[in-house]
Amino acid sequence: MKFYSTNNKNISVSFKDAVFNSLPKDKGLYMPLSIPKLDAEFIENISNRSFQELGFEVAKAFIEDDIPEQELKRIVDETLSFEAPVVKLDDDSYVLELFHGPSLAFKDFGARFMSRVMAYFSQQNEVTLDVLVATSGDTGGAVALGFDGVPHTRVTILYPKGKVSPVQELQLCSNGPNIQAIEVDGTFDDCQDLVKKAFHDPDINKRLTLTSANSINISRLIPQSFYYFNAYRQLAINGIDDPVFVVPSGNFGNLTAGLLAYKMGLPVKHFVAATNANDVVPRFLAGQDYDPQPAIQTISNAMDVGNPSNWSRILDLFDHDADGLKKLITAYSFNDDATHVAMEQIFQKDGYIACPHTAVAWLAAQQYRSEHPSDDAIVSLSTAHPCKFPDVFPAPMRAKINTPEVVNDLMGKEQSKVKLSNSYDDFKGFLMAY
């Protein structure tokens, strides 16, 4: 399969090129030249397939022969090393738990797949790939744990001192020798600037083969469609019809992956996009202009995005047909007060502790149900484990959060990090000494 830039359909590149140069020069985003259709038999017999088999079929439809079948199968199996269960809350309400991977957030799917795809291509070229990432929390953990122990790769992760949660810091600092955490005495923006400068620095590029692991990489998107199929499978096994998916959204990668699954033939009744106060998409779907804004800080901070990078992919998938989009997608936005109340309500009503991102989705599910009464199954995607955000819960709820075994395992491991100032000279010196 070839991939084109959303800004220029006439130029297409190989999968490998789209993975390593994730940003086309024309500033568009890569998309597959065509969306492969899975045949009807695939959906009819979906309950006979495992998560890994579904993932392989979907990946194969996009990647074709760019990675040999045996290798692709291994990559998918290693990516899907944990479950993504659909959990029932009440009558027709479900959550799809995407937080059972090593970093306890759904970004594990993308990061684990991307790391192994990159490793596969690098090993062919016999180079060590240097991945540089700046993180404000969730992405870094997924990337660190995704690349941990992956041959031919080395990851350098910069995070702002004192700005990530204890669990997040543990995930960044307790990995194997190919993962290097750097605590920067500065802000997340400082971290991003340091990474950007390094990418443009000829001295560094002479020494190291650099690549970025950012969220717009097409190899992070493809594996996210796996779990939509797998959720459908779990519902189908229980005799439940085509669901409504509610997706808590920031950069809209997760929703894009759901729409890819839909275009491939997955029967979905409707999509609901749920945002926090960063509501550029809900306003657009309500008929206003598309008007990106600076990000507003909220308690669901992994969704604090004022100018969602994947929105151009969604427009492209629908040939810029805003009416078609509005028929399939409804969007709602909720502020922090509503989110706090929702976390308490889900706990009171269903005995369930939802992270703030999941709570935003749950609110959207409630609103959609009240505006469209039906007994359709509504599945809210649960994107992170609540233990990653302890500060947002009132003490009695916090005390009830079960810390998963993987976090306890991390605590037993040796922690290592390098502390640097926010000056570029220090960071460059560090990289040049690799």
How far is CA 49 from its chain centroid?
24
Which of 47, 39, 51 minimizes the C-alpha distance to 225? Answer: 51
Q: Which of residues 244-263 bind ligand PLP (CB under 6 A)?
A: 248-254
Exposure letters 127-152 (e unless 16+ CB within 10 A, then b): eebbbbbbbbbbbbbbbbbbbbebeb
Q: Distance between the two ends of the chain, CA-based, in angstroms?
A: 36
CA-CA distances (angstroms) from residue 119 to 28, 168, 181? 25, 24, 20
Distance CA 225, CA 219 (A): 11
Residues 113, 120 contacting (CB under 8 angstroms): no
CB of 221 to ligand PLP, least distance (A): 9
Distance CA 4, CA 12 (A): 4
Four-residue CA torsion sign, 9, 111, 248, 51? positive
Q: Which of residues 258-287 bind ligand PLP (CB under 6 A)?
A: none
Q: State which residue, 198 or 213, has the beta carbon closest to ligand PLP.
A: 213
Four-residue CA torsion sign, 158, 385, 142, 38? negative
Does the annotation count 107 as an active-site position?
Answer: yes
CB of 251 to ligand PLP, least distance (A): 3
Q: Is residue 302 a contact point for ligand PLP (CB under 6 A)?
A: yes
Alpha helices in 200-335 (DSSP H): 202-207, 218-221, 226-237, 253-264, 280-285, 311-317, 322-328
Residues 432, 207 contacting (CB under 8 angstroms): yes
CB of 253 to ligand PLP, least distance (A): 3
CB of 333 to ligand PLP, least distance (A): 13
Q: State which residue, 141 or 186, has the beta carbon closest to ligand PLP.
A: 141
Q: Which of residues 353-412 bind ligand PLP (CB under 6 A)?
A: 357, 383-384
**Structure tokens given for 5:** 């830039």
Listed ranges 76-84, 86-94, 242-250, 412-420: which one lies at the site for ligand PLP (CB under 6 A):
242-250
Q: State which residue, 75 or 303, has the beta carbon closest to ligand PLP.
A: 303
Distance CA 430, CA 434 (A): 7
Distance CA 136, CA 368 (A): 31
Q: State which residue, 245 or 252, has the beta carbon closest to ligand PLP.
A: 252
Distance CA 88, CA 94 (A): 4
CB of 208 to ligand PLP, least distance (A): 27
- Residues that bind ligand PLP (rule: CB under 6 A) add up to a total of 15
Residues 432, 396 contacting (CB under 8 angstroms): no
CB of 102 to ligand PLP, least distance (A): 14
Q: State which residue, 198 or 250, has the beta carbon closest to ligand PLP.
A: 250
CB of 24 to ligand PLP, least distance (A): 20
Q: State which residue, 246 or 266, has the beta carbon closest to ligand PLP.
A: 246
Binding mask of the shown chain, residues 320 to 339, with x at each position contacting ligand PLP by CB under 6 A: --------------------
Q: Please pick, among 9, 27, 88, 107, the residue that the annotation labels catalytic.
A: 107
Which of 55, 54, 64, 56 minimizes the C-alpha distance to 32? Answer: 64
Q: Which of residues 109-138 bind ligand PLP (CB under 6 A)?
A: 138
Distance CA 20, CA 192 (A): 19
Q: State which residue, 76 or 221, has the beta carbon closest to ligand PLP.
A: 221
Q: Which of residues 69-108 bind ligand PLP (CB under 6 A)?
A: 105, 107
Q: Which of residues 135-174 bind ligand PLP (CB under 6 A)?
A: 138
Q: State which residue, 230 or 254, has the beta carbon closest to ligand PLP.
A: 254
Exposure letters 157-172 (e unless 16+ CB within 10 A, then b): bbbbbebbbebbbbbb
Q: What is the contact surface with ligand PLP in residues (CB under 6 A)?
A: 105, 107, 138, 248-254, 302-303, 357, 383-384
Catalytic residues: 107
